[in-house]
Amino acid sequence: MTDNPLADYFAALDRLKRRRAKINNDAVAIEAGRTKGSIKKSRPAFAELIAAIEAAAIEQAHPRTDQIARLTRAKETVSELRSQLEASYARELSLLAELYELRKQLAGLAGGKVLPIRGADRKARLL
């Protein structure tokens, strides 16, 4: 602690800003090593400090423009990825339907006696 108690409070306010912790009179007082409620509006010595705390709290309450831009980009990315996923599902369903039709055709042409392409049964049948 320094000789000037207000310097401790202002240093505490700066630490809270850097940590992006919730800023109010009690938080600043506790961060400065004082008791909760030690910053009172009725004391003229704290007028400048209280104004700085209120300004920091207002600044903290409004989201920053870079955060809004990041959020907008993230939402656009999610939307794009979701549409790509839907398109891939549509392609896969189309390919499955085509495969089903081709297997049905093959079974009809071969008279229903089609050997499996994979598996242990195929090796046993070939021997």
How buried is 42 (Cβ within 10 angstroms: 0-12 exposed, 13-18 middle, 19+ buried)? exposed
Percentage of the chain lying above the pLDDT 90 cut: 39
- In angstroms, the CA 127 to CA 122 distance is 9
- In angstroms, the CA 120 to CA 114 distance is 15
Largest Cα span, the chain: 101
Residues 33 and 48 sit within 8 Å (Cβ to Cβ): no
Q: How far is CA 120 from the centre of its chain?
A: 48
Lowest mean pLDDT of 28-32, 61-65, 120-124, name the range.
120-124
Residues 50 and 41 sit within 8 Å (Cβ to Cβ): yes
pLDDT of amino acid 81: 97
**Residue 3: pLDDT band by 50, 70, 90 thresholds?**
low
Which tops the pLDDT comparison, 19 or 62? 19
Residue 125 confidence (pLDDT) above 60: no
Distance between start and end Cα atoms, the chain: 91
Residue 103 confidence (pLDDT) above 80: yes
Question: Residue 56: which residues within 8 A CB-CB, separation 6 or more?
Answer: 13, 16, 17, 23
What value does the mean pLDDT of the chain take? Answer: 84
pLDDT of amino acid 11: 92
pLDDT of amino acid 105: 86
- The total of other beta-carbon atoms located within 10 Å of residue 74's CB is 10
pLDDT of amino acid 108: 78
Cut 0.75: pTM above it: no
